[in-house]
Every structure is written in C-alpha cells, then in structure tokens.
Structure 1
C-alpha cells in the first residue's frame, strides 16, 4: 500500500453546527494513576457495551495499563473523549515530541499487541481530531488498529471522498480469527481427524476450564511453569524470566479474573504426578469478543501435539459458549497452530492521522512504522527458522 497518498479521511459533519457540537464535547488527558472512580466506571461500561464487539480491547483494563508503565519510555495517560456527557472513546496513550511536532500515540507493547481504542458507535472522530489539534498536537498514531473497528470505519467517507485532512495506513497485516461461522467439521480435513483420533487413543488427555480465582491463582501459576519448560524458556522469553513482564501479566490476569472475563483451557494427563497440565491456553473475552493471549505446553508430550489439541479444545468451547464471537488469535495466517484451524482473517495496521498543518510529519511517521513492521517480519521469520 502506497504511503504517498492518504487513504482515509474524516467523516462529514452530520448536520449539526460544529460550534454547537463541540460545546457538548470534552477531552480529558489523565495520568494512568490519577483516574477517578467515575472515569474507571465509564471505561468499564464502554468496554462491556454491545459496540465492544466492533471496537473492544481486552488489554485496556486500567489496572493492567498501570502495570505496563514500566515498559514505556514515557508517561502513560488515558485519552477520554466525551460527547453529550457520554464516554465515546477511551485509550491509553503516550505523548511525545519529534523535532517540533507533538504526537499522541495509542499505547501498545509486546504483551498487548492491539491498539484498537474502546469506542461508542456514536463517536464523532472529526470533533475529537479538531480538539486534539486545538490542544497543539500534530498527529495521532494508532498502532495495530483493526481496519474494521469503529474508529477506522468512522473516518472513512463513502466512495473514498476526502475533505483534505486524511490519514495514512502502514504495516498492514492479517491475523487468524475465530468467528461464529467456525465449525470443527469444516476446519479439520479427513486426514487431520484421523490423526487426532489416533493421538487421543495413544494418550487420552482431559480438558478442564479454569475461571475466576482458580484461573487467576492456580491456573496462572501452572501456566508460567509450563511456558518456562518449552521453547520460550529455552529462548529466555518466558514470563517467569522477566520480573517486569510477570508483573504486567499478573495484573492483566487478575483484572480479567475479577471481571469473570478470564479463562484458561488446560489439557491434563491424569497419570502424571504433580502438575498434570501438559498444555494450557489463556484467553480473555468480553461480550463475545476477545483474544487467545498465551499458549504453553510440555515438550515431552510433542508426540500427541498438545498445543494443537488445547487450541482445538478452546475453539470448541468458544463456539459452544458464545454467539456471536470474534476471537483474535494475535497470530498471522502462517502460524502453525491457528493459521489453518481458524481460516477467517482480520486486518490490522497502523493509522497515522495528521491533525494540523503539513501532512509531511504524518507521512514520515507512517513510513517509519512501515519499516518497523518489515523488520518485525524478518525477525519473526528468523525465529521460526531457528526453531526448526
């Protein structure tokens, strides 16, 4: 996709006088550790509303965002946008300066690879962008934004018409996603079904689902042990091997455990002594929308593909429990487990919106994100080659 031409533009005014509309809007930038009880309540309500199916983000739990502050080089603030007294957009952001330009960037990181802001379907992005420009910001960057999210679709005009202030996409990529259309019968070929039956005869594994306190405490502890036993432990990238990563993960899991939006699918060997889990997957889900966040398995059981079996077990559970569903794998189509098991795709990319003045800073920043995305692809391919 070309970076030289804008591809998105602001939504046309809906017929309301701009001055009158702006008068009923309010923008708040609040430090992550200074959110009021009212702010926290409004964020939680926005995250759980039906529109969250189109623009939700399970990583934007305030406690988890606060825990991730040590991963940021700058201060993390919450951007809260109100229309007619209703919170219509919420996202953690990092504010920085590049030369003479001021940038607002939605906060994402390695352990939270999704930048889609929480948004209400009544969001008026044109008014939000005008207010950010009035505050002196030059551009808004939205990394890893779903192209079908409320924010992305709201700034696109029918027929591709533009009003002169456009956004730039870069780093476009696909992810495997589980939707309401998924069925095991359609996903598995006859050969895969035959192989699965053989593995289950060789070693029957018991599927257990942990939720609430059991998932937060026992389940998460066992998962961390299991992950450290696998290739991530050998590579030094397991959660247990980083105090910062473990602190963030613990807060994220605890936050979702308290909201009953955490589940850990576990496959267990009843004959095994001690920790009987041989494969586990952690997922978060709100209103039918969520992510498969982490997976770990015991490599001693590779002969029966425990990773594949636990993802399949989780897929069955999602399909049985939720209608409609939208579960992001956070993995690309080339992923050896979910790439073929979940044939549906979603598209993410980085959207940079110039807020005032020249488009040059936004275009340059978009080019930087594009180069960064290419480097990540090269690094991912190299890791996969080394693991073979």
Structure 2
C-alpha cells in the first residue's frame, strides 16, 4: 500500500502483555534479540522482517508511519510483523502488514510450536489493539501461516477473505527431488546453450565466481552491484539505487548489517577483472531469496544474468540448508522463465494473495473491497510498465543490430 498514505498505529501496553500489541517502530532495537530468537523457531521465515533489513527499510521508506505488531515480551515473542494504517481511512481502523517494492513478502513471524494458538490470539487481539481488520499482503496461499488462518476462522468466529491470486515461480526442495534437482531444474538443451555462452565469455577474460559473505567483502561487492545497475536499464530509467541517496543508503545498510548477521551474501561473476553480473541473496530459516541482480549490458550477448542465477540455482540444489527459493517476482519474469524448467518437480508457480481477517465481517468486507481495487490498479500499472520496458528492450536490440 502507498507509503505516503499511512499513519502510525501505536498503543501503550504492559511490556509483559500476552495479547496483540502495537508498538512504535523506534522500539525495534529493544526487540531485536527477541525477533532473532523468534525467527529461529518461526512457522515460516521472512528475511524482510529481520531487524537488519527492517530497520533500514523503516528509516528509508516508512515515513514515520510503521508500527510493530507483536505478541509476547522483550524476552520472548510468539508473533511479530511491521504494520501500517492508511491515514485517509484511519477512522475505519484498518491495518496492513507492511510490504513494499523492496520487500514483497508479508508472512509474519509466528512461533511454530504454538502456531495455531498464536494465530487465534492474533485474531482475538485485533479489536483490543484498536483495529477492526488486518490485511496480510503478499502471502503464499499454501503456506503454513495462511493454513493456520483458515483453521482459526473455520468455526465462524472471524471472517477471512482473500483477493485475486498472483503467481510466482518458486523452488521447493524435498529429500526425494534434491538428488536430481540440478539436472531436472534446467533443461539439458538450455544448459548446453548457456555453457557455450560461458565458454565464449571466457575469451573476454577467465570466467570465475566470487561470493562475498564478510562485511568488508559484501560492501565492496555491493559497490560493484550499484555501478552495474546504474549503467544498465534502471539507470536509463532513473530507478537505479545509486540515483536515490536514501535508497542507496538503505540497501548499503541492509548489505552491511545482513552480512554481519549471516543473512546477506553477494555473488559476482567475473570475466577476467571485469564484473559481468552481481546477485544479492537473502537466506534465512531455509528460505533463499535472490533479492537483486545487475549485469553489464555490454556483455548481454553472453547472458551473464542467467549464468549467475544458474550458478546460484545449482548451489541451492546442493545446499541441504535451503528448502525453498522465492524470487519474490511475478511468474512471467522473463529471466526465470528462460532458465527454470516449469515442469520440473521442484519448480512451480505458486499462488500468492492478500488475506484480510477480522472478527467483524462488515469491516473485513469493506477492507477487502478497497484492497481488491488497489491490487487491480497496481496490476494494470505494472503491466503497462512491463510493456514499455519490453518495447525499449526491442528498440535497443534493433539499434545494436543497425549499428553493427
């Protein structure tokens, strides 16, 4: 939801209160250790709600309007998520778990050992927290949290409504499919063509991959990423991180803090001493997110972006600590569509949607109507942007052909 149309939701509650509480975002440092502890035993992971990501995001994008929804105490939490409430409709007391273009995953952190009880407490606490309904956007429909919501509202004591689905490409690993994952994921002919491109790129300079995990290495790799992005199509469109000081500072802080916490890694594909592509990865609790990617467009004929994603995909296939990969992008993402094999047993297109829950059916219905209209408008706008980018890409390819 629009970041500039929100207002703070904050109530003062006892520190040891067991019910749902909404605290100001400034209290995040005080709860950081408890959030880390909860993340280690969460029903489902969400790296965007880790303090190392959430803190810089609130500072850069929250406009002072983000609150922290939690159940538990500073010593031990059982529920945690950032929330916002739209200022224009504040009297209606709707709230939404906070997602934004840099963090499109709304799954709250919930204690998995008490999952169903915590979700019931969440629903019961909506009213006592001063709200009438709560929306959870960008939520995997088949996920554990959505399932717990459905079970908690099955008895009719609360209303649960969902907006139209959006599809995402994801990878899910099991003990059975991991053994053949790398072979099954990328079609043989596609991998053969990519290997041929890689050998050709090697003539430009020895191809190698480096992975930055330490703070110093991650910061250096991020500078490379920012430069590649700025001199690519995002730079031409004015949307590169380096062109917005606040966004650049936010991303740099995420990389710095995330690397220190083991949350962030950066892969760089080199052709000799020339960086060809860079990938920023977020990984926690078995979930891997290829967050941002940039590549040298002068080397586009070698598909460096596909190569770095292929190498990351092969690593995830071999890494037993990763059981799910969510690229947090739409299912028609061109680079993933050209790389992953849709019919592979571990690759699928999953349903994501916004779920609205409330003890008051009328409140849930009203918020559902507003969210549905908002989502429709956003989908139309994104489709228009994709058409413009596709046209620009085709025009750029045509200019290259004519100049050659």
Structure 1 match to 2:21: 28
SS at the partner of 1:40?
Answer: helix
> Residue 163 of structure 2: which of 144, 147, 170 is its match?
170
Distance 2:29 2:279 in 1: 34
TM-score normalised per structure 2:
0.81
The CA deviation at 1:26 is 2.7
Q: Please, which runs of 5 or more residues in structure 1 have no aligned partner?
A: 1-22
Distance 2:49 2:269 in 1: 29
Is the 1:215–1:257 contact (alpha carbons within 8 Å) kept by the matching residues of 2? no
> Residue 69 of structure 2: which of 74, 79, 85 is its match?
79
Structure 2 match to 1:356: 360
> How many residues are treated as equivalent by the alignment?
357
Structure 2 match to 1:19: none
Structure 1 match to 2:221: 219
Is the 1:60–1:92 contact (alpha carbons within 8 Å) kept by the matching residues of 2? yes
The CA deviation at 1:304 is 1.1
> Residue 261 of structure 1: which of 260, 263, 267 is its match?
263
Distance 2:378 2:158 in 1: 25
Which residues in structure 2 correspond to 1:190-269 (within 5 Å)? 190-204=188-202, 205-269=207-271
> Residue 55 of structure 2: which of 56, 66, 74 is its match?
66
The CA deviation at 1:63 is 4.3
Indicate the structure with greater helix content: 2
Q: Deviations over 1:36-87 (max 9, x none)?
A: 53x21110111223x4xx521111122432322342355211111129x841
Distance 2:196 2:29 in 1: 56
Shift of the 120–380 alpha-carbon distance from structure 1 to 2, 3 Å rule, reads farther
Distance 2:369 2:262 in 1: 42
SS at the partner of 1:185?
Answer: helix
Distance 1:81 1:62 in 2: 17
> Residue 309 of structure 1: which of 307, 310, 317 is its match?
307
Shift of the 152–32 alpha-carbon distance from structure 1 to 2, 3 Å rule, reads same
Is the 1:353–1:362 contact (alpha carbons within 8 Å) kept by the matching residues of 2? no
Distance 1:34 1:354 in 2: 26
Distance 1:239 1:106 in 2: 25
Distance 1:131 1:145 in 2: 20
Distance 2:217 2:66 in 1: 28
TM-score normalised per structure 1:
0.84
Q: Please, which runs of 5 or more residues in structure 2 have no aligned partner?
A: 1-15, 341-346, 395-404
